[in-house]
Each structure stands twice: as structure tokens, then as C-alpha cells.
Structure 1
């Protein structure tokens, strides 16, 4: 063999080796903005990618809302039975929401369950007002706790996570918060381990339910979504006395974030951690540009199976390096219905595993709140502001547009109902019939409040109702 031939052969071998070494980099996280997997007790980092890049937290924000509330309870400023009042300010928040009428009172315990399981934005604001006396005061407390915990890449501007480009975090910071929530307030674990709540006759499912019901050892914690963030999740799993926490930001769908979390945990429990999460310092990059969800689409049924099929993992390991290759062979017959559409039940079974637990929503009611909510300031107990008198803040353009659209829709609906009533009256003889007062209705002052009348018509938790799809939960 000549020297030139040996040189060419060496060049080919080097090129092939380089390609092999690069294959593991093209893992299933291509559609994930950032993630980190840590040991909940030691803080040791097991896996991470872009963990210090700023991202929008969406409803993962409510973990900090809960943390501040639990700290106020621990300090004796409030109790789980303290009163939370639905204010004009809190009711103005867009869905997801409960939509209680202004002045409706419920307990801190109820509020915590609603925000951590149902993720209601109006209740998050009402809870903040009950704890601090005002939404602004509560936000100040959130940022103070973030600074104390060392969440150097985070800033909070609201208690719920609705769109505000000033509200940012990192996967690293959210992992620190999740660890602190478990460590400092173990009682909090009872609030975020449930797959849903039942309020009266209404069953309200958690967006984290399939993870909780299917993944062995799953016990929390919180999901989040706005368009600019994509699908986020803070998840925790305990196996063999060891608990791991995963923070995943910017998935393309609800199923992708859940399947990727499951995959991270399954692999992570076979590893030991490295450097401590707090040693990841600084901010590596800014948050994604607006409209992230429109650029980062759902992988689709075939994409899910190429990346997360547990049957393939059993046969050939996790093989992350195959996850984003377009030439991955996928047998669609195993997860396709007779009509050619995806069989989502089978896809869930094969990407998350079969349901190990039955779906049992937690029963939640208003509770029996104490007289007046005791609020806390930055250093001492402050005078409570009547929640129903807290003024509406100046809405940001997105929020203002959402409110205006809802008002127009409600006005149109009311006009249609009135027109139908007049039309019906003309058919019946031209005289509109007066509405008969129902027992328990607002006009029936002799009766107690009827079930369901605590909700403001048209703004309760049933609006809007998204089309059910495992990809978007």
C-alpha cells in the first residue's frame, strides 16, 4: 500500500470517527430549548443542555407563588385556613382560571391546590393579594426569594406566568427552586402529586396527569405553556429512595415534554451526578424570539415513535443519536388505527408506559376561610387591603386584547340570547316572558347561594375548553 493510499484511508477513518463522535450530540433534545436533570438531595447535575439560557417560565412561575405562600405559613403570618378573596384584579386574568365572582372567599389551602394542579391564573393573583396585601407586594416577595435562593437568571413580574417578556428564568434556576420547594416544605408534596381536582361536579385535569399516572415513581411537580416558551415542565420521580428532578423548557408539545422527561429519568437513575447545580453560573443566552411555538412544531405521531418508543429502547438502548435522523425506520402499523389516524392510546403506552395508577381527582371546595386575610409586607405584618377594592393594573397589550375580545364575545352572545328570547316571545304572542327566579339564584334572597353561582357567568373554568389531544396536554 502506497503512502498516498494510507493517507486517504487515514483521512476516511478520521472522518468516520468524527461522525460517530458527533452522533450522540444530535439527541432527542433538538426540539427542547433547555433542560437539566438533578439529584433532588445533593443538587448533583446528571444531564443538562442550555441550563443557563434564559427562558420564559410560563406556569412554572406558580412554583415560586407556592414557595412564598408556604414560607408565609411557616412564619405564622397566614394559615392554610386564612381567607383568599377573589378581587376585580384577580378576576381580570385570562384563562386558565376558575372565574369565581368578585368577593368569593376560599382558603389558602384551596388556592394552593388549584394553582398547583389546575394552574388557575386568577387564583394565583388572589392568593398573592391575600399573602402580601397587593399583587405588586407579592411580586416583590417573589423576587426577594429568588435572590435569596441564588436564582440569578430569574425575574418575576406576575404570580402566574402569563406572557410578559420581562419574566424570565433558566432551567438551572427552576431546578434550584424545585429542590428548595421539596426540601424546605415537604408538606408541599401533597399538593402537586395529584392528576386532577374535582370542584363540585366538575373534574379538572392536570396537564401533568399522564406523567403522574404512567411513569414509575412520579410524584410531581408542575407544567407550563405560553407560545413564547413552548411546553415546560418541572417533574420529579422517586425510585429506590432517590429522587431526581427534571426541568424541561421549550418542548414542541405536551407529549414531547412528558416523553422526554420519562426518558431522562429512565436513563438518569442509572447514573451518578457530577458538578453541583449551583456551580452553573451566569446566563449563556437570552430567551427565544417571540412566536417560539410557531417555529417549534409538534413532532407528530411518527416523530414521537422514532424518538421515544420504549420497545425500541428495550431492544437497543436509548440510542439517542438516532432521534433526529430522518431515515429512522418506524413501523407505523403498530400505532395506527384502521382509518389511518394515529392511535394515541397506543402511542402513550409505548412512549410513557401503561397507566399504573387509576385517575382519581382530589376533591376541592371553597373550605371554611377565617375572617380576614392577614397580609405580610417585606418585614412585618401590614394592613390588609380589601381584595375586592384592589384596582385593575394597566394591562399589557396582549392581555388588554384578550380582555377586549372576551368582552365582545360575551356582548355578542348576550345579544343573541336576547334576540332569541324576543323572537320566541313574538311567536308565543308578543309578550316576553319574565324569568322565573330559581331557588338559590341571586334574586332569591331567602335562600343560600346555590351551587355553581359562585362563578361569574361566561368566565369560569369551562372557558375556553381546548380540543382534547394527548399531544397538547
Structure 2
């Protein structure tokens, strides 16, 4: 273990909000009304609209979802199924929520809405009905498009609606990974799920212009607390901040209702946010998020090798606290080769794993008798003002519409590595941010 040098201040996470799922009370917030790019948290609305179609009897979990040429053309993160492939809606939802598959998100949109633009209309109609005043959707997946905006507050309203209105579908957000054929696909939210007490999910997201986003929730003692975090600089920081906000949220119950907190305050970050927001070092993470432990000297009991396999009593010295009262923030764990032991860093800033990683098997074939979801007579109908999704590849800035209160800037990412993000940063850092998935 090495003593840490003084650490200069770095930029904080862009925005967040903590909400009691049942009462709707806002327990903490920072710039919760500022517009931000939701990235793949968008897929919470895709799931919400789909869950409504199931509840209304227009679809079932066994309904067939067909991968179209339009869906197949989406950039990664994707499943890569060939056009014409049919999967069940249940499998599609798991791929959208856990893998964050953009191609499957479009296929679901086409199946439920009758077309991708019609589904986007449904997304915006639901956003208006829920009172998401800072939000506008232009695609069902969250890939880069500066017209697509939301806020921490609006995403909290959406997440709360998903949680409260569709309890039968909560399990989708709790999967740490899925297994499709011989491939195992891990959720970018898995370390939060595996390490945080009572963790439920729900969805991560990343594009360069947004940084790393997440909606998380946890249930303890019959109470559920949810946090939305926008603009983290690394996967470890995102999960550590989520854990810290959730822990603090369970200690508070007051606050005005999230429904009373509305409006728009501030524009989204300028293009290239991820390039300006440096990834925190292990020293910074531990200084900021190291969890408190017991007093320096505690009694512990462990099974020993005494005669008859008795219980051996031992005194264990706990790590010394830092001046801030946080334990572990004064040292960085190292591996035998001298490099940072990121697994132990996560143990310190997020918490040790409470459950083993498990991938849920997902079928890639729809039942033979499966039929497509039913499109209600008169659909697809575009909600007035619904923007059309950009053609693939992304359109130039001159073709972009303007979002109220936000000047639309260039949606097209630079044509170089990192333009299309192909895999969200793992929580076992350090991993470059130039190559994440939404």
C-alpha cells in the first residue's frame, strides 16, 4: 500500500437527483432541471411504451419481433441479427435493457408502433403525459443526436413510472448479464447490482456528449430509493456515486415531490463532454467514495482449526480512517505486479460483492405460433411535432431541428475512432472512454 499525495480538485458529476420511489420525495439533487443527453437511458421509455402495449393487450411477451433492414443498420451496441430474424418480445426486452442493443430497440419500436417514427411519437406523447417538461425524443435507443434531451428530474419521473406501474416487469432491470447462444453479455450496471445492498437496477447510458449516465434503485426494509446520475467520467465513479447517493437517501425522508420540481434550467454540455471530463484516478475515487467501516479495533469470530472445529475468537484491526472519517481513502491497493488492484478499489468505493454474477439464458428464436403485436386501428399516428429519426448515417447539423430552450448542435460524431461507441467502459478500469457503448 502506498500513501497518496495531495489530490487536486476535479470536475464533479454533471447532475443528479435522489427520489423516494413510493412518496416521490426529492431527497437530494444537483442541477436536476438542467437538460442533458440521456444516451441509452432512453431505453427506459422504450420499455415503458412496450409495457403499456402489453398491459393493453396489443402484445404479449411471446409476440414476434422481426429485425428489419432499418433496425439492422443501427450502429453498436447491437446484437447483429440478420434482417428477417424473429425473436420473442420477452427476449428483445432483455437484449434492450441488459445488452442495450440498439438494433433490437428499433425492432421493438417498429413492432409496437408500426414504424419507428410512430413509436417515437408514442414516446413523446408519454413524456408529455408524465410531465417530462425538459424531454424530447427523436430515437428509441439514445445514440448521438443533440435533439434528444432530458434531465435528471425527468428521467426520475420516468423511472418511477416504470417501477410503480409495471411491478411485474421489474426483474428485467435486475439481470447482471444474459447468455445468448455461446455469448455472455454483461450489463454495464452489473457491479452496482452485485455489490450494493438491495440493488434493483435500472439502466445505464453513455455517449461522449453526455458522459456516463445511470438510473439505479435499491430496496431496503420495504422502502425503495432511486438515483439518477448524469455525466460521470468513469464506470467506477458512476457506480460509486450511485452507491453513495442511495446510502444517503435511505437516511432521509423529507423533500418536495418530484412532480412539483419541473421546468428547464440550463443547456446540455457542449459537444465532446467526455474529452473534457477526465477519468478519476484510483486515489481520487478512494478519497471521495471510500465507505466507512467499524471502529479501528473490533471483535470478530471466525471458524478456526481448534479441536472439534470450534469457534476461534480473534481481534482484527480495521483500516485507519482518514481525516475525513472515511476508511481506506489513504491507500490504493496494488497487485503483485505493482499495478492498481481495481477489484479491491471497487470493494472499497462501491462495496464487496454480495451475490455471484449470473447470466440469464435468452432464446434467439420466437415461437412458431408467435405473431406480431397488434397495431391499434388508426396507428401509426405521429404526435404533432414529432421529429423524424435521422437517416443512417447521421444527418448533418444543417438538417437538425431546434429543441425549445436548447440550440441544437451537431449531432454527427466525428468520423474517427470513438464516433460510434462500441462498448461501454467496464467497471474494472482504467479503460479509455473513447470506445463505450450507449
Structure 2: runs of 5 or more not aligned: 1-8, 297-318, 382-388, 397-409
Aligned-partner Cα distance in 2 for 1:466–1:144: 30
Task: Tell me, yes or no, if the aligned pair for 2:17 and 2:32 is still in contact at 8 Å.
Answer: yes
Compare 360-369 and 145-154 and name the one that shifted more: 360-369
Match of 1:5 in 2: none
Residues 1:341 and 2:350 are matched in the alignment: no
| Structure 2 residue corresponding to 1:175, chosen from 117, 131, 156 | 156
Give the direction of change, closer, same or farther, for the CA distance of 1:138–1:312 in structure 2 (3 Å limit).
same
Aligned-partner Cα distance in 2 for 1:274–1:29: 29
Residues 1:277 and 2:258 are matched in the alignment: yes
Structure 1 stretches of 4+ with a deviation exceeding 6 A read 312-316, 318-323, 398-406
Match of 1:356 in 2: 354
Aligned-partner Cα distance in 1 for 2:285–2:38: 24
The equivalences for 1:287-302 within 5 A come to 287-302=268-283
Report how far residue 273 of structure 1 moved.
2.4
The alignment partner of 1:266 has SS state of helix
- Higher strand fraction (1 or 2): 2
Give the direction of change, closer, same or farther, for the CA distance of 1:102–1:290 in structure 2 (3 Å limit).
same
Match of 1:132 in 2: 113
Report how far residue 313 of structure 1 moved.
9.3
Structure 1: runs of 5 or more not aligned: 1-27, 384-390, 407-462
Aligned-partner Cα distance in 1 for 2:372–2:424: 35
Report how far residue 381 of structure 1 moved.
5.4
Could you give the per-residue CA deviations for residues 119-142 of structure 1, whole angstroms, max 9, x where no partner exists?
000000000000011100000000
Residues 1:306 and 2:305 are matched in the alignment: no
Under a length normalisation based on structure 1, what TM-score does the superposition of the two structures give?
Answer: 0.73
The alignment partner of 1:358 has SS state of coil
Aligned-partner Cα distance in 1 for 2:152–2:109: 24
Match of 1:226 in 2: 207
Give the direction of change, closer, same or farther, for the CA distance of 1:267–1:319 in structure 2 (3 Å limit).
farther
| Structure 1 residue corresponding to 2:145, chosen from 150, 164, 173 | 164
The alignment partner of 2:94 has SS state of helix
Could you give the per-residue CA deviations for residues 125-181 of structure 1, whole angstroms, max 9, x where no partner exists?
000000011100000000000000110110000000000000000000000000000
Match of 2:385 in 1: none
Report how far residue 393 of structure 1 moved.
3.3
Compare 268-277 and 157-166 and name the one that shifted more: 268-277
Report how far residue 312 of structure 1 moved.
6.9
Task: Tell me, yes or no, if the aligned pair for 2:63 and 2:88 is still in contact at 8 Å.
Answer: yes
Report how far residue 94 of structure 1 moved.
0.8
Match of 1:108 in 2: 89
Task: Tell me, yes or no, if the aligned pair for 1:81 and 1:109 is still in contact at 8 Å.
Answer: yes
Q: Greater CA radius of gyration, 1 or 2?
A: 1
The alignment partner of 1:277 has SS state of coil
The alignment partner of 1:46 has SS state of strand
Match of 1:368 in 2: 366
The alignment partner of 1:310 has SS state of coil
Aligned-partner Cα distance in 2 for 1:322–1:310: 9
Give the direction of change, closer, same or farther, for the CA distance of 1:397–1:196 in structure 2 (3 Å limit).
same
Give the direction of change, closer, same or farther, for the CA distance of 1:227–1:403 in structure 2 (3 Å limit).
closer
The alignment partner of 1:212 has SS state of helix
Report how far residue 79 of structure 1 moved.
1.2
Under a length normalisation based on structure 2, what TM-score does the superposition of the two structures give?
Answer: 0.79
Q: CA RMSD in A?
A: 3.1
The alignment partner of 2:28 has SS state of strand
Give the direction of change, closer, same or farther, for the CA distance of 1:404–1:169 in structure 2 (3 Å limit).
closer
Aligned-partner Cα distance in 1 for 2:239–2:150: 20
The alignment partner of 2:174 has SS state of coil
Aligned-partner Cα distance in 2 for 1:255–1:78: 38
Aligned-partner Cα distance in 1 for 2:357–2:63: 30
The equivalences for 1:48-447 within 5 A come to 48-311=29-292, 330-332=329-331, 334-369=332-367, 370-376=369-375, 380=378, 393-397=391-395
Give the direction of change, closer, same or farther, for the CA distance of 1:465–1:278 in structure 2 (3 Å limit).
closer
Report how far residue 276 of structure 1 moved.
0.3
Give the direction of change, closer, same or farther, for the CA distance of 1:320–1:124 in structure 2 (3 Å limit).
farther
Task: Tell me, yes or no, if the aligned pair for 1:59 and 1:223 is still in contact at 8 Å.
Answer: yes
Give the direction of change, closer, same or farther, for the CA distance of 1:397–1:381 in structure 2 (3 Å limit).
closer
Could you give the per-residue CA deviations for residues 188-212 of structure 1, whole angstroms, max 9, x where no partner exists?
2011101000001111000000000
